[in-house]
Amino acid sequence: MSGTTPTNPGQAPMARPDTDPFTSLRRGMDRLFDQVLGGSSWGAPWGNLPAAFTATGVLSPKVDVAETPAGLEVTAELPGIEAKDVSIELHEGVLTLRAERSAERKEEDKDKRWHIVERQSGTYLRRFALPFDADPDKVEARFDKGVLHIVIPRPAEQKPQARRIEIKG
């Protein structure tokens, strides 16, 4: 069985990792960050910061991206965020998710000594290059209990019209 691409019964074959545009994009970004950060994995130079926290202070939400015959489905975890603090933009084939989370703790409280502070505040940001030209007016998004769901439909296929070609000579 070596050399075969695994499949799911009743479904189309899975994209090979070396041809999947999202896997390729992720690998490229990982290589870029490894070069910029001196060959270490994300987050490592800053000690015990969570892996989702980058050098720029931007949080990277966990996402799932699924390709279907109808288009793409993107699901992002944005815990502690309200819908009013989330923005989605589609521009020149790039989907941008952005959300703001504000700190809840008050530093001026003199009677509190913080021992552990793991809850983060800041900007969540993720960008994805889409594998097709999507119509921004047809993209749908909903937000439920800290989870953002985005559906990006494929554009309608333009069917080539048959045309009779005259033979000369």
- One digit per residue, pLDDT tens: the chain, 169 residues? 444 444 445 555 555 555 677 777 877 777 776 666 544 333 333 333 344 444 456 778 889 999 988 899 999 999 888 999 999 999 988 999 999 877 665 566 677 777 777 666 778 889 989 988 898 899 999 999 999 999 999 988 754 567 788 888 7
Cα distance between residue 159 and residue 167, in whole Å: 24
Give span(s): CATH 2.60.40.790, the chain: 56-103+121-156
Its CATH architecture, for the domain 56-103+121-156, is Sandwich (2.60)
- Its pTM stands at 0.56
Q: What is the pLDDT of residue 97?
A: 93
Residue count of the chain = 169
41 in Cβ contact with 47 (< 8 Å): no
Strands 58-59 and 122-129: what pairing? parallel
Q: Which of 44, 39, 67, 65 minimizes the C-alpha distance to 54?
A: 44
Please tell me the distance from the alpha carbon of residue 139 to that of residue 154, in angstroms, as a whole number.
10
Backbone angles phi, psi at 142, to 5 degrees: -140, 155
